[in-house]
Amino acid sequence: MAMTRERAADARRYAALPDPFPMWRGGALHGARIAYETWGALSAARDNVILLFTGLSPSAHAAASPSDPSDGWWEGMIGHGCAIDSGRYHVVCVNSLGSCFGSTGPASIDPATGAPYRVSFPDLSVEDIARAGFEVLRSLGIERAHTIIGPSLGGMVVLAFPAQFPGATRNAVSISGTAAASPFAIALRSIQREAILRDPDWRGGSYTDERPPATGMRIARKLGMMTYRSAAEWRQRFGRQPAGPELRSPEPFGPEFAIQSYLEAHAQRFVRAFDPNCYLYISRAMDRFDLAAHGASIEEVFARSRVERALVIGVESDLLFPVDEQRALSEALRKAGAQTTFAPLDCLEGHDSFLIDLERFGREISRFLA
Amino acid sequence: MAMTRERAADARRYAALPDPFPMWRGGALHGARIAYETWGALSAARDNVILLFTGLSPSAHAAASPSDPSDGWWEGMIGHGCAIDSGRYHVVCVNSLGSCFGSTGPASIDPATGAPYRVSFPDLSVEDIARAGFEVLRSLGIERAHTIIGPSLGGMVVLAFPAQFPGATRNAVSISGTAAASPFAIALRSIQREAILRDPDWRGGSYTDERPPATGMRIARKLGMMTYRSAAEWRQRFGRQPAGPELRSPEPFGPEFAIQSYLEAHAQRFVRAFDPNCYLYISRAMDRFDLAAHGASIEEVFARSRVERALVIGVESDLLFPVDEQRALSEALRKAGAQTTFAPLDCLEGHDSFLIDLERFGREISRFLA
């Protein structure tokens, strides 16, 4: 199920990855590519690049641009005069390796067979996503990023990037990320994957475009929403309001509360927008990530990475990537000698706060970049 | 799928409910019964009864007794010299109406048709579970309980009980309960139900004993476990330990971490132990419960209920029934004139702490009963 965002405009560009592209846990890709978008001009000294990694499911379309004026997933954060100022920086956002919005992933054609990879795609790691971003910079003739930024999965990728390529970025901003997934996060993601794997329509990964494992994807997305937001936000926003009449059904056990309608709307959008096998691969990569595997300790890994300055942002209401994990990250960065700012924010919206509370996140990011 | 606990010994007794037994949201049951177990002797004055309601899935077998020496679900809490002292009290634990361990529920035979009710069982409410417990006491010739106690769902039932039967208990102990489910809890439970409803083996409720909706039940139980325990406990207990070799499989995306083995073991036990339709009915009843529906406000409901003393226990790490909800309950009870103790405990084990930290819960309960 190759996913294309249905827009008249398309700002994507493509970088060919080295052939072969070795994968961190073994195997290699041939003829692979990464989709990316850019904002702002590259300076003559090539020293103003901000490389942006995404969460699990977004595309490279982080913000509107002349070639694609539709809103991006971080609209308002990136642009002229925004916190990530395209008047000053050349911003490059990559669609993750393994995803389905133009970059090579399980839904792409395997050149060796002429058919989609599906579950024959090699094991995917957070390290591979970082390496693919590094190769995009290389393809643009850039030796060193000014700053790498990433939220959620992206917040893990910005740790894996300098761990593999010391000196390849001067600064790093890790937002609501972690050095290693907790058992709670692993539990959540493995239940999401199980819902997909046990959907009869998954068919061992060989589902059709007409009949994707929609039930599994719906349940996975609804579960995701539970941990992306917060109980306090939902209490304020939905309380015990009844569901709208459009969702009331004569079926037994149909939706009764507004919170159920909200989850249903999100789930329906997601089923149409994301490839199930890509979801499985990226989700598992998040479980497996463990920065400490790159050295004797995460302090030692950071010391080798030559990151000069770091900003670590976390949110007190985050269930999935709890703020203690970002606190530990920032302490390790400090011990390793990076000039580190830790910003624990008390936003209401949980893990997804970076998408919503642009004012507070923007303030931290622009202060760091100033 | 009529569930019977496979034990040689059986301490259950049965109380016939009035025929018809009117249900709170409409409809009525005919020839219904409640299974219960007892510990300790009834005093001559019939004034030493403790009525115990359970969480969503336990049976009436809360503790060992001469007629059934196997461990119960609250073993160590009930017995001679225990916090709930059977040397002093006549303890009665009821299997909830709608459950599948001897009480009438969706898996029982509908006398009107001779076939199991399944989804033709009338709407079940927390109020009905409370009323069924009240009828058990009446059948034993008891006018007034000394104390009603309940954890989780039971913590809701002990609120619905005096709201419907003012004066029918002197004291109430609500453990990790709430006056109304939050949208977060509703979201969680509705996703659990959806996993069952969309399992092709659910078959509109007409599954067979040989082929229950096992996938849906497994996912529902795993999700439940995520919210019954806490992220902090799992970090301490499992960390990122690998799964045991018995679970490693050649299937793609098989379990890799110990936390996945733990969830799997719990899920497998649950599929064999609980009836899916009963699960759906009781789960929905928890979503719908709203004590405020019984009066102008919960203070007013409590004032009418004539509860003299109350103990409200909550756990700081509870995701599903957050401690703020128990704090609000205890404040309303105080305002209504009940002599109220609020015990917020900082146990690590989340919502299920009452099953694990018997020492701290026992101390609060025995102090209250002293």
B20 to chain A, closest Cα gap in Å = 24
Q: Is B351 labeled as catalytic in the residue annotation?
A: yes
Q: Does domain B185-282 have CATH number 1.10.1740.110?
A: yes
Q: Which CATH architecture has domain B13-181+291-369?
A: 3-Layer(aba) Sandwich (3.40)
Query: Does residue B3 register a pLDDT over 80?
Result: no
The secondary structure of B80-148 as a DSSP string is TTSSEETTT-EEEEEPPTT-SSSS--TTSEETTTTEE-GGGSPP--HHHHHHHHHHHHHHTT-SSEEEE
Residues of A in contact with B284 (CB under 8 A): 253
Helix (H, G, I), strand (E, B) or coil at A228: helix
Q: Is A128 labeled as catalytic in the residue annotation?
A: no
Query: Does residue B230 register a pLDDT over 70?
Result: yes
Confidence of residue A7 (pLDDT cuts 50, 70, 90): low
B201 to chain A, closest Cα gap in Å = 11
User: For B33-63, what is each residue's pLDDT tens digit?
Assistant: 999 999 999 999 999 999 999 999 999 999 9
Quick check: B183 and A215 CB within 8 A?
A: no
Q: Out of A152, A174, A176, A305, which one is annotated catalytic?
A: A152
Partners of B90 in the beta sheet?
A: B49
Confidence of residue A248 (pLDDT cuts 50, 70, 90): low
CATH code for the structural domain at A13-181+290-369: 3.40.50.1820
Q: What is the predicted ipTM? A: 0.93
- Arithmetic mean of pLDDT over chain A: 95
User: For B173-206, what is each residue's pLDDT tens digit?
Assistant: 999 999 999 999 999 999 999 999 999 999 999 9
Partners of A310 in the beta sheet?
A: A172, A340
Cis (ω within 30 of 0) for the bond into B242?
Answer: no
Quick check: B290 and A322 CB within 8 A?
A: no
Residues of A in contact with B252 (CB under 8 A): 119, 197, 204-205, 280
Indicate if the alpha-carbon torsion angle A26, A32, A35, A36 is positive or negative: positive
Residues of A in contact with B225 (CB under 8 A): 187
Indicate if the alpha-carbon torsion angle A46, A47, A48, A53 is positive or negative: positive
Could you give the CA distance from residue A120 to residue B157 in angstroms, rounded to a whole number?
52
- B127: which residues sit within 8 A by CB, 6+ positions away? B24, B160, B163, B164, B289
Domain ranges of chain B: 13-181+291-369, 185-282
State which amino acid sits at residue B62: A
Average pLDDT over residues A23-43: 98
CA atoms within 13 A on the CB side of A299: 7
Centre a 10 Å sphere on the Cβ of residue B327 and count the other Cβ atoms it contains: 14
How much is the pLDDT for B2?
43
Q: Out of A330, A351, A352, A353, which one is annotated catalytic?
A: A351
User: For A263-292, what is each residue's pLDDT tens digit?
Assistant: 999 999 999 899 999 999 999 999 999 999
How much is the pLDDT for A2?
43
- B103: which residues sit within 8 A by CB, 6+ positions away? B33, B34, B35, B60, B94, B95, B96, B97, B132
User: Global pTM?
Assistant: 0.95
Quick check: A182 and B235 CB within 8 A?
A: yes
Average pLDDT over residues B116-145: 97
Using an 8 Å Cβ cutoff, are B161 and B129 in contact?
A: no
Confidence of residue B244 (pLDDT cuts 50, 70, 90): confident
Q: Out of B152, B230, B305, B317, which one is annotated catalytic?
A: B152
B144 to chain A, closest Cα gap in Å = 33
Could you give the CA distance from residue B133 to residue B33 in angstroms, rounded to a whole number?
11
Could you give the CA distance from residue B155 to residue B244 in angstroms, rounded to a whole number?
37
User: For B57-87, what is each residue's pLDDT tens digit?
Assistant: 999 999 999 999 999 999 999 999 999 999 9
How far does Cα A25 stand from its chain's mean position?
20
The secondary structure of B151-176 as a DSSP string is ETHHHHHHHHHHHHSTTSEEEEEEES
Q: Is A146 labeled as catalytic in the residue annotation?
A: no
Mutate to test the interface with A, among B188, B192, B240 (most CBs of A within 10 A): B240
Mutate to test the interface with B, among A121, A125, A190 (most CBs of B within 10 A): A190
Could you give the CA distance from residue A309 to residue A338 in angstroms, rounded to a whole number?
5
